Structure 1
Amino acid sequence: MEHAIADTGWRGSHEGWLGAAYESLLESGVDSVKILPLSKRLNLSRTSFYWFFKDREELLDTLIARWRDKNTGGIIRQSEAYAESVAEAMLNVFDCWISKDLFDSPFEFAVRSWALQSTDILAEVQRADQARIDALCRMFMRFGYDEGPADVRARTTYLVQIGYISMQSREDLALRMKRIPEYIAIYTGQTPQQRELDRFFSRHGYRPD
């Protein structure tokens, strides 16, 4: 997705320009992602932008590609990760909601806000929603659920999380972790084993009281 550019001096770098665009998108929306404001943000000349991107549209396309790979890719990869039970498989997906390395919630909110202004981005978001739900449905079916129930459980799992993001809901880690076993039971119909929860808590550096 990213170009390998050797010169990262007075022109900046591909990653630098993209990072500035990402920060501007999150802070102020897509209308702020313009070449002149970004050049001022980076303290670089406007013309240096064109060493790395053909135009603003290419920059925006690259932002969307990054969002697609990070957030849609993250959910799909976690839904396909090895698990001994459907409860553990759901805990793998829940890793996305805890770790920004797997799923970037502020980026998700920013892109969904952008979709309110652009039919093209709205179509991207709708495709992403379907791909994510399909991946979760496949996960349930892998553990023996019929297609209909798998689809409903996948939608319930996904739409609740998107609701959290859209509402910009905030929970401290301890409260979120306390609620997770019940969420797993509701979404999957199975109560997670303590060893499954222990592995989940451990990889997020959480120790229950």
Structure 2
Amino acid sequence: MDADTEKNAGWRGSRALWLDAARQAFVETGLDAVRIQALAHRLSLSRTSFYWFFKDRAALLDALLEHWEDTNTGALIEACDAYAETLTEGILNLISVFIAEAEFDPRLDFSVRGWAAQSADVTARVASADSRRISAIKALFVRFGFAQEEADVRAHAVYLVQIGYISLQVTEDTATRVERAAEYVRIYTGQAPDERELARFRARHGC
């Protein structure tokens, strides 16, 4: 944090604090809840404090989209790029991101997709993010020897299943999702993960 940010934090809050409040309001209630006065009330701060960190509501909304891209899309790409000895391990890395929900927030993804129905600009950003995500998954398949066309189809299958989970707001406990992972991997890749990979995967999720 730079000196100016530190100076303006505290009783005015901070940029991160206002942004997190906006994210929470957005996923809990919807876009209309992301209003300066409502956020100030939520944070017990003055409305004028907001303007130390954002020019206006439009700037806050743009920051919210950037946060979504950095966290959700970033987490997916990072998982695809992570070290893996086998393709099955690589897909388990990717599935882990969706199960943990610590970095990839499905509620935020769902909310942004709803927002896209109201805005052509957001629609374009969602399409761009989807393209980047699918490209990252495709690159994972290519890395382990799949031809471009087949890698593309498999990447779409992996991604569209997950988007289906998000769009339908499917709720499953962690144990159920972990238990299903091995069969998902086999379907996606044509290969079964070995027991060592599954043991590490289960341990990662406390199962």
Task: Tell me which residue corresponds to 2:189.
Answer: 188
TM-score (norm 2): 0.95
Q: How many residues of Structure 1 are paired with residues of Structure 2 in the alignment? A: 205
Q: Any idea what the Cα deviations from partners look like across 1:157-194, whole Å, max 9, x if unmatched? A: 00000000000001112211111110000001100000
TM-score (norm 1): 0.95
Task: Tell me which residue corresponds to 2:5.
Answer: 5
Q: Counterparts of 1:1-209 in structure 2 under 5 Å?
A: 5-6=5-6, 7-206=8-207
Please report how far the alpha carbon of residue 132 of structure 1 lies from its aligned counterpart in structure 2 after TM superposition. Answer: 0.3
Which amino acid in 2 is paired with 1:5?
A: T
Please report how far the alpha carbon of residue 16 of structure 1 lies from its aligned counterpart in structure 2 after TM superposition. Answer: 1.4
> Counterparts of 1:68 and 1:173 in 2: how far apart (Å)?
25
CA 92–18 in structure 1, closer or farther in 2 if over 3 Å, else same: same
Determine what percentage of the aligned residue pairs are the same residue: 51
Q: Which runs of 4+ in 1 moved over 4 A?
A: none
> Counterparts of 1:43 and 1:113 in 2: how far apart (Å)?
28
> Counterparts of 2:127 and 2:205 in 1: how far apart (Å)?
30
Q: Any idea what the Cα deviations from partners look like across 1:116-174, whole Å, max 9, x if unmatched? A: 11111111100000000001001100000000110000000000000000000011122
Which amino acid in 1 is paired with 2:11?
A: W
Q: Which has the higher helix share?
A: 2
Q: Any idea what the Cα deviations from partners look like across 1:80-99, whole Å, max 9, x if unmatched? A: 11111110010010111112
Answer whether contact 1:95 1:102 (CA < 8 A) is retained: no
> Counterparts of 2:20 and 2:149 in 1: how far apart (Å)?
41
> Counterparts of 2:86 and 2:3 in 1: how far apart (Å)?
40
Which amino acid in 2 is paired with 1:12?
A: G
RMSD of aligned residue pairs (Cα, Å): 1.4
Answer whether contact 2:174 2:205 (CA < 8 A) is retained: no
Which amino acid in 1 is paired with 2:206?
A: G
Answer whether contact 1:3 1:14 (CA < 8 A) is retained: no
> Counterparts of 1:3 and 1:144 in 2: how far apart (Å)?
50
Which amino acid in 1 is paired with 2:124?
A: A
> Counterparts of 1:110 and 1:5 in 2: how far apart (Å)?
29
**What secondary structure is seen at the aligned counterpart in 2 of 1:168?**
coil
Answer whether contact 2:26 2:34 (CA < 8 A) is retained: yes
